[in-house]
Amino acid sequence: MKLTLRVWRQKNAGAEGAMSTYEVDDISPDMSFLEMLDVLNEQLILSGEEPVAFDHDCREGICGACSLVINGDAHGPERTTTCQLHMRSFRDGDTIDIEPWRASAFPVIKDLVVDRSAFDRIIQAGGYVTAPTGSAPEAHATPVPKADADFAFEHAECIGCGACVAACPNGAAMLFTSAKVNHLNVLPQGAPERETRVLDMVAQMDAEGFGGCTLAGECATACPKGIPLVSITGMNKEWLRATRKAGKR
Amino acid sequence: MTYTDYATGAPVSDSKAPSGPVEERWDKRRFEAKLVNPANRRKHTVIVVGTGLAGGSAGATLAEQGYHVVQFCYQDSPRRAHSIAAQGGINAAKNYRNDGDSVHRLFYDTVKGGDFRARESNVHRLAQISVEIIDQCVAQGVPFAREYGGLLDTRSFGGVQVSRTFYARGQTGQQLLLGAYQALSRQIAAGNVEMHPRTEMLDLIVVDGRARGIVARDLITGRIDTHFADAVVLASGGYGNVFYLSTNAMNSNATAVWRAHRRGAYFANPCFTQIHPTCIPRTGDHQSKLTLMSESLRNDGRIWVPKAQGDTRPPSQIPEDERDYYLERIYPSFGNLVPRDIASRAAKNVCDEGRGVGPGGQGVYLDFADAIERMGRAAVEARYGNLFDMYHRITDEDPYEVPMRIYPAVHYTMGGLWVDYDLQTTVPGLFAIGEANFSDHGANRLGASALMQGLADGYFVLPATINDYLARNPHQEAVTAEHPAVQEVLAETEDRINLLLAVDGDRTPDSFHRELGELMWEFCGMARTDSGLRKALERIPQIRDEFWRRIKVPGTGEEFNQSLEKANRIVDYLELAELMCLDALHRTESCGGHFREESQTPDGEAARRDEEFAYAAAWEFSGTGEAPVLHKEDLVFEYVHPTQRSYA
């Protein structure tokens, strides 16, 4: 396959960026999207240009590092991560636009690399169970209904890639935050911190400059792990419950 | 003197493991280890490099105890460490199934699975701690798979006959890592952990014979800085990426452990690499990494190839009596669940016989047709759905309809920095945990044991043993950037970076990495020979020489520069690869993941030679391309007596 790539190039956080156009040839449909970018970068290095910077690591769809907006879609046309997108999803002669996540809470570091540390700070605000090492009771002391365990797992699958934020017209992080709130709040182990968790995480989310949710639903459509939109409803319920409870105290 | 003329130095021994009955040693060590007064702990700084299962759990636990932790990872977030990609599960001797499991059986299985090249004391401790790990993770909210009654579910894994593997669908590593990451996050928020993401360790600082800090590069600004501590913990993972193609993450690397080795830490059993039997075969030269399909698939999938050579019919048209379910045929009692090294070598053998399937004949079938017929598609989907989806996405073939094609790939390295029972290296104050050390898996790791070891080291072992070191060295003199030893390491690091940028040659970092990887796969991969290893040992210095003449790294050092990161890692691979080949050359026996063609039984199985090789080989660095010094640690088996492994 022969392709034209229009790629966002930006020297560093402070520099102006712009789209640059490149041609790549001999692309196999079996290549992943990132392997196609590897081909471009090898070409650029040999011609004395700087390769395109992009985040990637496991290349098997689980670490959450890769993060490209491809033809306007976070992670491209398939519902998966960029590293698991294959060139068979494109056609010979296509022109492909490649941009970084666009959100004010995710500033660009270089080219296609953005700073997602705001997500870490949301987790730090309450996305955990306080269980110091060594303090745990026997694992079977507290049975968890299978339905609750499955519900927790399905939310815990979030890989923290940020596609939800990139896809959202408001740059909201509601889906990311709600995934962790739902994962921990449904479990008996998470119950003692149920209220503080949701209140603190939502407060941090707002402080990071993420937008509000208007139920556009783009986040859930872009999520490579299929975290459902109703997850946000669950978080809102938890937040209201916690707020009312705090008011009664 | 050539590299292969190594000298044998004084034996190395594990001075910290207590004597006495094996089941009492860990208690005894914990009691004998000195403690640091809680009020004094905050005066001690501990550096932790890496945030995977071992590093994440260690950082969180040390901070909970009151130490000041300074932690590093090259990823943009500690949540992305490659432990996240572990699929299958974590072993624990809970015996919830009442199927005859026990701490002693897990100990026995692990020593035997490791082909009698691991230390009994360490492995027994691991088995004891396994049960606490499950408790700890459940308390953190790790959503393990559960039965309808609300209790934890388990499954069986290769090399064992009990069901002791706890799992969270095919994403167990992800869930355990997020548990550790969340515990670490809590400590970061509390101010007990100073976290440096996107920062890579480039060297170790040793002052007056003790590890006192690291040199690290901020990957965003390019700034190279020094960081000081009272002890340094390396949790930087394995070195499988020496092979270029492996199941490791693209940026997983050996720099931290190799630099520590250069500063005096012995490197043990570098040739013990695990080739995992069930990975998706490569599709072409563009391949950048290989993807594992969890070993748990072997519980229900049946492995086969056509009986005839060069049979190119689609699998559905090959009748039952023309298929060779070779694992079930050769190993009737373990069948498809033989340990990884055996399954991998068997796959290589049938492909070498010309019976491989798929492009280039480098693959075997992993077939679920029987499982789907027996338990229904829905049950198979519930167990393996995400793995099937992943396979479908990568290969564009639907494994519910056609058998998967799999082939072995480099997956894990059992070798690593030599550590004693306290997980301390030969450099006082330098500890190595998780895959970065060599300790618990011998010559072959059993499935679902990496997660167990990483978390055992990080949550339970290191936090107990590092106390002893800090208590015995309570007032170490403060080190500053002005210290001559610090200045020297810093200058060496800066020189190396500047040289990489200055060569301005005509070859990319990846081109060298691929070349080295192909060489290693051919000569130091699944089967090794004297002549092949000698060829590799001749070639590696030539590649190294060419590297320093022809490498091209665009950009500067004072910015985000991924080519520079890669090139700098390859510098270390080019030295480590040489040691791996030498270790493989010197060990003229076959054991576990190390198969020497010269040492096999009449029916082609690995032939171990205990009288000569029942030791861990700990190598001391003597200079780039200089013959290293071999220190042997004799392995004593008091409980599990070495026998030739039989899974037949």
CA distance A84 to chain B (A): 7
pLDDT in tens, B374-391: 999 999 998 888 889 989
Mean pLDDT throughout B16-21? Answer: 94
- Stretch A105-112: mean pLDDT, rounded? 98
Band the pLDDT of A249: cuts 50, 70, 90.
Answer: low
Confidence of residue B1 (pLDDT cuts 50, 70, 90): low
Q: Cβ separation of A139 and B134 shorter than 8 Å? A: yes
Reduced DSSP (H G I as helix, E B as strand, rest coil) percent helix, strand, coil of chain A, to 5: 40, 15, 45
Backbone angles phi, psi at B267, to 5 degrees: -110, 120
By the CB < 8 Å criterion, does B369 face chain A? no
CA distance B304 to chain A (A): 25
Q: List pLDDT tens digits, range B616-627.
A: 999 999 999 999
Sheet holding B416-417, edge to edge: B7-8, B629-634, B615-620, B267-268, B416-417
- Which B residues, 502 through 531, put their C-beta within 8 Å of a C-beta on chain A? 506, 508, 510-511
- Does any CB of chain A come closer than 8 Å to the CB of residue B80? yes
Does A53 contact B562 at a Cβ distance shorter than 8 Å?
yes
Residue B536: its H or E element: helix B530-550
The string of pLDDT tens digits covering residues A88-104 is 999 999 999 999 999 99
Q: Is the ipTM of this complex over 0.95?
A: yes
Residue B340 annotated among the catalytic residues of the structure: yes
Average pLDDT over residues B207-223: 97
Q: Using an 8 Å CB-CB cutoff, list chain A residues near B185.
A: 120, 123-124, 127-128
Report the 3 state secondary structure along A44-109: HHHCCCCCCCCCCCCCCCCCCCCCEEECCEECCCCCCCHHHCEHHHCCCCCEEEEEECCCCCCCEE
pLDDT bucket at B475, cuts 50 / 70 / 90:
confident
| Rounded-to-integer distance, Cα B175 and Cα B146, Å | 14
**Minimum distance, in Å, between the CA of residue A58 and any CA atom of chain B:** 4
B62 at interface of A, judged by CB pairs closer than 8 A: no
pLDDT band at B156 (very low <50, low <70, confident <90, very high): confident
Instruction: Please give the Cα distance from B226 to B487 (Å, whole number).
Output: 9
The shortest CB-CB distance from B141 to any of A135, A139, A189 is to: A189
SS3 B348: helix
B75: pLDDT strictly greater than 80 = yes
CB pair distance less than 8 Å for B135 and A138: yes
Searching chain A, which residue's CA lies closest to the CA of residue B394?
A84
Secondary structure letter of residue B459 according to DSSP: I
Which residue of chain A has the CA closest to B505?
Answer: A46
Q: Residue B41: pLDDT above 80?
A: yes
Which chain A residues are within 8 Å of B510, Cβ to Cβ?
38, 42
Name which CATH class applies to A117-248: mainly alpha
Question: What are residue B7's DSSP bridge partners?
Answer: B629
| Residues on chain B touching A11 (C-beta within 8 angstroms) | 559
pLDDT at B279: 95
Find, in chain B, the residue whose alpha carbon is nearest to that of A110: B560
Of A39, A64, A109, the CB nearest to B220: A109
Minimal-distance CA residue of chain B relative to A144: B150
B182 in reach of chain A (CB within 8 A): yes
What confidence tens digit (pLDDT) does each residue in B356-369 have? 999 889 999 999 99
Domain ranges of chain A: 3-110, 117-248
Residue B73 to residue A153: CA distance in whole angstroms:
26
Q: Give Cα B223 distance to the centre of its chain.
A: 29
Query: Quick check: B339 pLDDT over 90?
Result: no
Condensed to tens digits (0 to 9), the pLDDT of residues B173-199 reads 999 999 999 999 999 999 999 999 999
Cα dist from B108 to A191, B103, B273, B452, B545, whole Å? 39, 9, 21, 15, 46
Joined tokens for residue B72: 């590093």
- Measure CB to CB from residue A139 to each of B135, B143, B182 and give the nearest one: B135
Give residue B581's Cα distance to chain centre. Answer: 18
Residue type, B121: S
- Closest by alpha carbon to B586, among B554, B606, B615? B615
Q: What is the mean pLDDT of residues B93-106?
A: 97
Q: How confident is residue B47, by pLDDT bands cut at 50, 70 and 90?
A: very high
Shortest CB distance from A113 goes to which of B96, B147, B560?
Answer: B560
Those residues with Cβ within 8 angstroms of residue B389's Cβ, 6 or more apart along the chain or in another chain: none
Average of per-residue pLDDT values in chain A: 97
pLDDT per residue as tens digits for the range B543-602: 999 999 999 999 999 999 999 999 999 999 999 999 999 999 999 999 999 999 999 988
Give tens-digit pLDDT for B429-451: 999 999 999 989 999 999 899 99
Please answer whether residues B9 and B631 qualify as being in contact, where contact means their C-beta atoms are separated by less than 8 angstroms. yes
Size of interface A-B (CB pairs under 8 A): 214
Helix (H, G, I), strand (E, B) or coil at B483: coil
- The domains found in chain B, sorted by start residue, are 276-410 (3.90.700.10), 484-609 (1.20.58.100)
The answer on pLDDT for B146 being more than 70 is: yes
DSSP B491-528: HHHHHHHHHHHHH--SB-HHHHHHHHHHHHHHHSSSSB
Q: What is the pLDDT of residues A112-152, one digit of tens each?
A: 999 999 999 999 999 999 999 999 999 999 999 999 999 99
Q: Do residues A214 and A232 make contact, with C-beta atoms less than 8 angstroms apart?
A: no
Give the model's pLDDT for residue A122.
Answer: 98
- B404 within 8 A of B384, measured Cβ to Cβ: no
- Give yes or no for residue B516 having a pLDDT over 70: yes
Strands A95-100 and A3-10: parallel
* pTM, full prediction: 0.97
Q: Check CB contact of A89 with chain B, cutoff 8 Å.
A: no
The count of other CB atoms within 10 Å of the CB of residue B186 is: 24
| CA-based nearest residue to B153, from B205, B92, B109 | B92
Contacts of B460 in chain A (CB under 8 A): 133-134
CATH topology of domain A3-110: Ubiquitin-like (UB roll) (3.10.20)
Q: What is the pLDDT of residue B599?
A: 97
Q: Does A157 touch chain B (CB under 8 A)?
A: yes
The first and second tokens of residue A27, run together, are 């692309």
pLDDT tens by residue, B272-292: 999 999 999 998 889 999 999
> Mean pLDDT score of chain B, rounded to an integer?
95
Percent of chain B with pLDDT over 70: 100
Per the CB < 8 A criterion, the answer to whether B500 and B507 are in contact is no
pLDDT score recorded for residue B506: 97
Name the minimum distance, in Å, from the CA of A113 to any CA of chain B: 10
**What are the chain B neighbours of A40 within 8 Å (beta carbons)?**
none
Rounded to the nearest 5°, which phi and psi values hold at A155? -85, -30
Alpha-carbon gap: A248 to the closest alpha carbon of chain B (Å): 28
CB contact under 8 A, B60 and A133: yes
